[in-house]
Amino acid sequence: MTRIQYQECIDACIKCMNACNYSYVSSLKEYDLAALRESIRLDRECADICSFAVQAMTRQSPFVVEILRLCAEICERCADESSRHMQTHCQECIDACRSAALACRLISGAVEVYA
């Protein structure tokens, strides 16, 4: 797979990392912080694996498929958790996580694409 073929997935993962980290810092400023414990934790997990996945794609890692499969799983779990909260930053997180998960699954082969 070439550099160009990863570009959409790289972009989706960067957006997801950005949304997760933004939700992370925003959650830490919320009044009702206690309700967001698990969300804060998963935001960090998701941002970290997205960051790792982006580096792996840009260095054409021989393990891209396995890394993106893991990344998709974590993105999906973070989206699930975010969907339990009403804050705007959580809602933004859901979309970014789902897009990244889909982009990762398209490359790692878990989603069939019919053109």
Selected from 1, 28, 80, 111, the binder of a copy of itself by CB under 8 A is 28
Selected from 42, 75, 94, 103, the binder of a copy of itself by CB under 8 A is 42
Q: Which residues contact 69 (CB under 8 A, 6 or more apart)?
A: 104, 105, 108, 110
Which residue's CB is nearer to a copy of itself, number 103 or number 114? 103
CA distances from residue 37 to 10, 27, 34, 76 in whole angstroms, order as listed? 28, 9, 6, 18
* Shortest separation between residue 36's beta carbon and a copy of itself, angstroms: 9
* Shortest separation between residue 115's beta carbon and a copy of itself, angstroms: 27
CA nearest neighbour of 110 among 79, 81, 76, 80: 76
Does the footprint of a copy of itself cover residue 24 (CB under 8 A)?
yes
Q: Which residues contact 58 (CB under 8 A, 6 or more apart)?
A: 6, 10
Residues forming contacts to a copy of itself in the complex (CB under 8 A) are 3, 10, 14, 17-18, 21-22, 24-25, 28-29, 33-34, 37, 40-42, 44-45, 47-49, 51-52, 54-56, 58-63, 66-67, 70, 73-74, 77
